[in-house]
Amino acid sequence: MKKRRRNYPLAFAGIAVLIVAAVFLLRWGHERLLKSMYPRTYAEIVSEQARENGLDPNLVYAVIRQESGFHADVESGAGAIGLMQLTPDTFEWLQRKEGAQTALSPDALTQPDVNVRYGCRFLALLLKKYGVRRTALCAYNAGMGRVDSWLGDASVSKDGRNLDAIPYAETRNYVERVEENYRQYQDLYSK
């Protein structure tokens, strides 16, 4: 009776190739899934406005994702409009601040280029004013007046710059979500 030779090394090599291919496909598919969940919609507008305002585009995308889910015509219950959810009052204030000769109506906030331009200006202004991203994001959500009062409260802020606790659950959750969005955008697109 003839003995059959088994070719184990060849079988192991084939299995190894299959495993490597499977891992590659899983990683590729996972990254594609994440990129669909964290899109870079309006890339040209966001890149331009982020650059003009000295912002990381990934932070702008993180805010847009949280504020509107990339829906340009959405309006919140509080009356905030568009991609970056600006209120008409904030929009008017920003236009006055930059000395706009002819004021745009709040309806213009549904236009992605207008909304992102003013949203980025507002975010940049808050980052400059507070110097701490987390504090600036609190102000973006809850307003500068509230954040200023929180920073003046020693039970909430020991140093007047950082918020050790965020009194409003909505703002606390908002900041946590934006920060997580920002981490995801950095991981996916800053390679």
Residues annotated as part of the active site: 67
Q: Three-state SS for 6? A: coil
Q: In the structure encoding, which two tokens stand for residue 60, read together? A: 């702008």
Q: Three-state SS for 76? A: coil
10 Å Cβ neighbour count for 59? 22
Q: Tell me the C-alpha to C-alpha distance, in Å, between residue 72 and each of 40, 76, 111, 114, 142.
A: 14, 12, 7, 10, 21
Burial of 181 (0-12, 13-18, 19+ CB in 10 A): buried
Cβ atoms of 156 and 165 within 8 Å: the answer is: yes
Q: Tell me the C-alpha to C-alpha distance, in Å, between residue 43 and each of 46, 60, 112.
A: 5, 10, 11
Q: Three-state SS for 81? A: strand
Cβ atoms of 120 and 83 within 8 Å: the answer is: no
